[in-house]
């Protein structure tokens, strides 16, 4: 059970202030308060829980002994943890394009931080809807235009401070203006890409993490439609601002926060301006600052975990828990000062390695596999085929992902050996790369100048030792270089020519497969 001191809003308060417009939960057809009774369907419900910028090693079930995540750890004990889960293009929008389409970056078309297209041939909410589900999304979508549905029956949005569509106001901000008239939702004073951290200064109930959790709780309490549901709950935290409410800040007041991993190869990223801007992307700010940033970050993680616990409690109250496919993952990670880097978009573990947990319905069987870990490489593209598999629907041609339920069933022999990763220019022309990993080794090609890096993650999970220049590892380096060349071969120039990787000084944000692509 979740342990929360935050009181639930009454239904009258919620319906009065929570939503507005066509996406309003209060106006969504069929969502009326009814006695707790299970929806009758042979298909399982689908709950996908998503955190923004949550790195792989910040959950208890991933071996972190400091962070407190009891609810997600419980889901992990009842499901499978994928220890080699990655985000192929580790910033918000291209990661979400891969999630939406089930495709690799080249095939969905986003090679870096751009805009998710308004429509794709293959879209997760639409395909699940066509499989007989009522589909709803709550929280951060990060799509453009911002009210685009991509097949959802409805959404209630919290998009931080982004106003990218004319006149856009998020549902959270509309609610906030009614719940706390005259107050500033950003009064804590931290920026969206800030490295600083301190406690949220407004009442906890006004925090966007609580709003997202409460909105999901109300959706589940009110749901009475005959179809099974697919509910997406997408939290904006632990993405900066690192602003947990005081009780979550206090939770880590005396915690032994880990120091950042800093390899000798990362000295190039240590310099920074003095005083540093709060949105810097590189700089050695000292161990104390890195630990304070993690202090706020861990508080945000635990706050998200508590809200997830409240959501799971409602599933149990309504008798749906054992008939719901539950998945949790992040869109990408957060460097938190590792290798003198901040934020994301890098090939390194803090940025691209993500948590992923899957709990399947009791009727699926395979109970002997619950509580296990799988180290085969998986990626966000695998979520779409997993949902269609659970729904008994066909996966469209052209989807690159594979159903994670194959691994639950023990069908591992044909699984991919490695996963591709890349990011177009971000923050600096030098931050422009392609890579491959299987969770044990990682190869990185820096496209701007042709530098290579090789890490033996199994022995060096902190990526402290770059083996690319070590004579003893040249055979391994060639093997992984050849893997990347093979992967990029369908692209031709300017990526590869005559079996060799090419230096690329010009950016290519969108591939020719991006909808409406224009050179």
Domains of the chain: 11-416 (3.40.720.10)
Measured between alpha carbons, how far is residue 339 from residues 197, 282, 343, 463 in Å?
A: 20, 9, 12, 9
pLDDT on residue 163: 85
pLDDT on residue 6: 40
Token representation of residue 480 = 């992984």
pLDDT on residue 41: 59
Q: With 70 as the cut, is the pLDDT of residue 315 above it?
A: yes
DSSP letter, residue 430? T
Helix (H, G, I), strand (E, B) or coil at 232: strand
Structure-model confidence comparison of residues 279 and 300, the more confident one = 300
pLDDT on residue 438: 98
Q: Lowest-pLDDT range, 9-23, 30-44, 200-214?
A: 9-23
Question: What DSSP string runs through 477-499?
Answer: HHHHHHHHHHHHTTT-TTTEETT
Strands (E) across 254-407 are located at 324-330, 353-354, 356-359, 372-374, 378-379
Q: With 60 as the cut, is the pLDDT of residue 116 above it?
A: yes
DSSP letter, residue 167? T
Structure-model confidence comparison of residues 143 and 20, the more confident one = 143
Q: With 80 as the cut, is the pLDDT of residue 304 above it?
A: yes
pLDDT on residue 214: 98
Residue 19: band (very low, low, confident or very high) from pLDDT cuts 50, 70, 90: very low
Question: What DSSP string runs through 7-73?
Answer: PPPPHHHHHHHS--STT-TTTSTTB----S-----SSPEEEEEEEES--TTSSGGGT-SSS--HHHH
Q: Which DSSP helix (H) or strand (E) runs through 316?
A: helix 287-317
Contact 357, 81 (CB under 8 A): yes
What's the CA gap between 18 and 478, in Å, rounded?
56
* pTM (predicted TM-score): 0.93
Active site residues: 92, 142
Counting Cβ atoms within 10 Å, is residue 167 exposed (0-12), middle (13-18) or buried (19+)?
A: exposed
Contact 165, 147 (CB under 8 A): yes
Token representation of residue 62 = 């991933």
What is the number of other CB atoms lying within 10 angstroms of the CB of residue 501? 17
Residue 517: band (very low, low, confident or very high) from pLDDT cuts 50, 70, 90: confident
Q: How far is CA 517 from the centre of its chain?
A: 26
Q: Lowest-pLDDT range, 53-62, 274-283, 331-340, 463-472?
A: 274-283
Average pLDDT over residues 307-330: 98
Average pLDDT over residues 102-109: 98
pLDDT on residue 424: 98
The three-point CA angle 255-259-260 to 5° equals 140
Q: Lowest-pLDDT range, 28-37, 83-92, 246-255, 336-345?
A: 28-37
pLDDT on residue 31: 47
Residue 443: band (very low, low, confident or very high) from pLDDT cuts 50, 70, 90: very high
Average pLDDT over residues 108-135: 98
pLDDT on residue 160: 83
Average pLDDT over residues 29-48: 60
pLDDT on residue 276: 82
Structure-model confidence comparison of residues 2 and 284, the more confident one = 284
Question: Percentage of the chain with pLDDT > 70?
Answer: 92
Pick from 476, 478, 508: which is nearest to 492 by CA? Answer: 508
Residue 289: band (very low, low, confident or very high) from pLDDT cuts 50, 70, 90: very high
Average per-residue pLDDT in the chain? 92
């Amino acid at each position: 059970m979740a342990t929360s001191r935050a009181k639930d809003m009454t239904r009258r308060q919620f319906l009065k202030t929570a939503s507005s417009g066509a996406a309003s939960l209060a106006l969504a057809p069929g969502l009326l308060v009814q006695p707790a009774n299970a929806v009758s369907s042979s298909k399982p419900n689908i709950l996908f829980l998503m955190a923004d910028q949550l790195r792989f090693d910040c959950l208890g079930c991933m071996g972190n002994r400091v962070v407190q995540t009891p609810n997600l750890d419980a889901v992990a004990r009842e499901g499978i943890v994928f220890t080699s889960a990655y985000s192929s293009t580790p910033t918000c929008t291209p990661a979400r394009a891969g999630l939406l389409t089930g495709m690799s970056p080249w095939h969905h078309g986003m090679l870096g931080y751009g805009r998710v297209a308004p429509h794709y041939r293959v879209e997760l909410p639409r395909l699940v809807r066509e499989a007989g589900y009522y589909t709803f999304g709550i929280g951060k979508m990060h799509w453009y235009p911002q009210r685009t549905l991509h097949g959802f029956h409805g959404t209630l949005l919290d998009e931080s401070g982004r106003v990218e569509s004319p006149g856009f106001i998020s549902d959270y901000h509309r609610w906030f203006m009614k719940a706390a008239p005259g107050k500033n939702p950003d009064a804590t004073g931290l920026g969206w890409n800030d490295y600083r951290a301190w406690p949220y200064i407004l009442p906890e109930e006004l925090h966007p993490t609580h709003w997202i959790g409460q909105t999901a709780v109300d959706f589940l309490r009110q749901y009475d439609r005959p179809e099974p549901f697919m509910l997406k709950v997408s939290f904006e935290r632990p993405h900066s601002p690192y602003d947990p409410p005081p009780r979550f800040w206090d939770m880590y007041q005396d915690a032994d926060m880990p120091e950042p991993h800093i390899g000798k190869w990362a000295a190039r990223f240590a310099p920074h301006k003095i005083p540093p801007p709060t949105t810097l992307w590189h700089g050695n700010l000292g161990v104390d600052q890195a630990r304070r940033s993690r202090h706020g970050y861990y508080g945000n993680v635990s706050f998200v975990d508590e809200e997830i616990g409240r959501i799971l409690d409602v599933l149990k109250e309504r008798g749906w828990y054992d008939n719901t496919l539950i998945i949790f993952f992040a869109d990408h990670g957060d460097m938190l000062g590792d290798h003198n880097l901040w934020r994301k978009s890098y090939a390194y573990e803090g940025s691209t390695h993500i948590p992923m947990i899957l709990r399947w319905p009791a009727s699926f069987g395979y109970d002997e596999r619950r509580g296990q870990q799988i180290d085969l490489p998986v990626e966000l593209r695998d979520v779409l085929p997993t949902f269609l598999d659970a729904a008994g629907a066909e996966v469209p041609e052209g989807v690159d992902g594979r159903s994670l339920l194959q691994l639950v069933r023990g069908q591992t022999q044909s699984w991919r050996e490695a996963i591709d990763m890349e990011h177009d220019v971000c923050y600096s022309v030098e931050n422009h790369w392609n890579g491959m990993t299987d969770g044990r080794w990682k190869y990185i090609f820096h496209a701007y100048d042709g530098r290579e890096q090789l890490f033996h993650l199994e022995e060096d999970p902190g990526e402290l030792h770059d083996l690319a220049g070590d004579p003893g590892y040249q055979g391994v380096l060639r093997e992984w270089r050849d893997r990347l060349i093979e992967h990029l071969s369908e692209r031709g120039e300017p990526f590869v020519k005559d079996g060799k990787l090419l230096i690329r000084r010009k950016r290519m944000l969108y591939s020719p497969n991006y909808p409406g692509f224009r050179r």
